[in-house]
Chain A
Amino acid sequence: MRYLPLNDADRARMLDAVGVGSVEDLFRDVPSEVPPGPVFDLPDHQGEMAVEQAFNAFAVKNLSPSCAPTFLGAGAYRHHIPAAVDALIQRGEFLTSYTPYQPEISQGTLQALFEFQTQVCLLTGMEVANASMYDAATACAEAALMAARVTRRKKVLISGSVHPHYVDVILTETGFTGISCERLAPDPMGIEDLVGRVDDDLACVLVQTPGFFGRLSDFTALAAQCHAMGVLLVVAVAEPVSLGALMPPGEMGADIVVVDGSSLGMPLSFGGPGVGLFATREKYMRNMPGRLVGETLDVDGRRGWVLTLSTREQHIRREKATSNICTNSGLCALAFSIHLALLGEDGFTKLAEVNHKAAAALAKRLSAVKGVKPLSGPFFNEFAVVLDKPAAPVVEALAAKGILGGVPVSRFYPQFPELENLMLVTATETNGDADFDALVAALTEVLR
C-alpha cells in the first residue's frame, strides 16, 4: 500500500520492542462482545490509475460549466482564477500544515492570515475581521448569536432579500438557543419596510446587498434606526466582487459584515469548500467568533504574528465560548487573499466593472427576448427575470441544449407559487459575446 512505509520486518521488530506478539494484541481493550473481525462489504485497495479513471467516469456524467455557457449565481459566482493562486496554495508548506498554534514555525500562515484580515477590513469598511468561517451561511448564524450576546436580546429580524440558505442555517443554528427569528417573505421587488419594524427588543436586523434577487440596497437609514434602538445591523454580501464597485457596508453603518468569499481564489467545487468572511467594529472584538491573528514581537524584538484573544474560543472557554468553531477555512482564505493580491486595487475595481457591465449588457439583450422580462431596479452582476412560463422546466430545457442558463427561484422557494416564473441570471467576466448569443438563441427557442 503506497501510503504505508512500514514493512513486515519493521513491524516484527517494533512488536518485539513493544513486547506483544501481534498488532491484534494491541487492540485487546476492545471489548469481547465487539466482533473482532467485522465484515466490511467494501472493495480492496486500488492504484492511482484506477482511482483517476473512476473520477473521470463521475465527471463525464456532469455538464461542466467549463464546457457550457454558464449564467448561474444564487450565491455562487463563477470567476476566472489566475493560475498562480492554485500553484501557491498547493505548496506543501501551506497545504499540509496544521492550525498555526506553534507561531515560531507558522509565521507564513500567520502573516498571510493577518494580511487576509486586513483585506477583509478594507473591502467591507470595517475595523476588525477574523481569520475565516466555513461559509457565509454559517457566518450569518454566528453573527446572529454574536448580536444576541452583545445586546443581551433574543430576537432577530431577517430581510426577505437574504439568501434562503443563509436564513435556513440561521434558523437551524439558533433554533435551540432561545433566540427567535422573524423571517420576512421573499422580496424580489424590494418593497419590504425594515426601518418601520426596528424596535428595541431586537438583537439585530440581517440584510443582504446585492440581495438574493440581485437588487442593490443602501442601508444607511436602516443603520441609523437600528443604532437609535440599540440594535446591531448585520449586512451579508454573497458576491464579494461587488465590493469593488459598491459602497462598503461599513460606510452604511453596518455593525457586522458577513461575506461569502468563494468568488475569489477557489473553484466552485459544487458549492464547497468556500470561505466566510466576518468583520465587525473594534468595540465588539472580544465577542467575535473564530480565530484571530494579532501582531506582536519576539524575544529579540522582531515583529511577528500569533493567534490571539483565544480565551473566546472553545479550547479554553469550553461551554462559555463564543462559538464551537475550530477548523475553519484557512486554505480558502489564503486563496482568496492571493487572488485579491494579484488583482490589487486597479484589477479588483476593474473586475467589478467588467462584471457589472456584462450583466447590464445581458439584461438588455434578454429584455428583447419574447417572454422574458427583467425585474426593474439596480443590480450588480445578477438580476431576476420573469418568464412567461415556470422557470424550472425552462432551465432544464436550456440544460438539454448544453446551456446553464439560470437558477429557478422555485428551487429555493417551492412553497411560493407566485415565484414560479422567476429565474436568476448572472453574467461575469467569464461570459463572452458567444455565450450571450447562445443563451438568447436558446431561450428564444425554449419560450417560443
Chain B
Amino acid sequence: MAKLYFSEEHEWISVEGGIGTVGITEYAQEQLGDVVFVELPEVGTAIEKGDDVAVVESVKAASEVYSPVSGEIVEINEDLADAPGQVNQSAEGDGWFFKIKLSDESELDDLMNRKDYDAFVEGLE
C-alpha cells in the first residue's frame, strides 16, 4: 500500500516498494495556471534530495521542481510531452512527473502528511 508525503515546495511523493512517484500538488498547479511544458530529468540520473530535477512552465511562470528525496530516476512520465495539461487535470494522479528509487527512506520523515500539508497551505493564504 503506497504512502503519500508532501514537501513545503509543493511536491508530493507516493512511495511503494522503495520506489517514489513524484509530482506537484493540486495547490501548486492552481497557482501556476495552465501548464504548457514540463522538462523532466533523464532516466538513470542520480539525484540528491533538494536538487532541482524538473521544470514546470505555464505561460507566465516557470518553476523548478525539487526532489523531495535522494535516489535514482527510474521512470519519467512521457505523456506530459504531448499533454502537459494533464498536470492541471490530475496533478496528483496522471500528472505525475517521475519515479525515483529511494536511496534513503529516512528522508521521508522530514516530509508532511496530507493533513499537515493542508494546514501548511492554509497558512499561506
Contact = CB atoms under 8 A, between A and B. Distances in A.
A311 to B, nearest CB: 4
B47 to A, nearest CB: 15
Interface residues of B, number: 9
B57 interface: yes
Q: How large is the interface on A (under 10, 10 to 19, 20 to 34, 35 or more residues)?
A: under 10
Interface string B15-58: 00000000000000000000001010000000000000000011
B62 interface: yes
A320 B58 CA distance: 16
Contacts of A310: 59-60
A317 B39 CA distance: 14
The prevalent SS among residues of B at the interface is strand
The prevalent SS among residues of A at the interface is helix
Interface centre among A286, A311, A316, A317 (most CB of B within 10 A): A311
Interface in B56-98: 57-62, 64
A418 B64 CA distance: 53
Contact of B61 (A286, A311, A320): A311
Contacts of A311: 37, 57-62
Contacts of B37: 286, 311
B62 A286 contact: no
Nearest to A311: B62
Contacts of A317: 62
A286 B57 CA distance: 11
Interface centre among B37, B39, B59, B62 (most CB of A within 10 A): B62
A310 B58 CA distance: 10
Interface in A310-345: 310-311, 316-317, 320
A57 B31 CA distance: 60
B39 A286 contact: yes
A163 to B, nearest CB: 34
Nearest to A315: B60
Interface of B: 37, 39, 57-62, 64
Given A286-B39, A311-B57, A316-B60, 10 more contacts: A310-B59, A310-B60, A311-B58, A311-B59, A311-B60, A311-B61, A311-B62, A316-B61, A317-B62, A320-B62
14 contacts: A286-B39, A310-B60, A311-B37, A311-B57, A311-B58, A311-B60, A311-B61, A311-B62, A316-B60, A316-B61, A316-B62, A317-B62, A320-B62, A320-B64
Closest 3 CB pairs of A and B: A311-B62, A311-B57, A317-B62
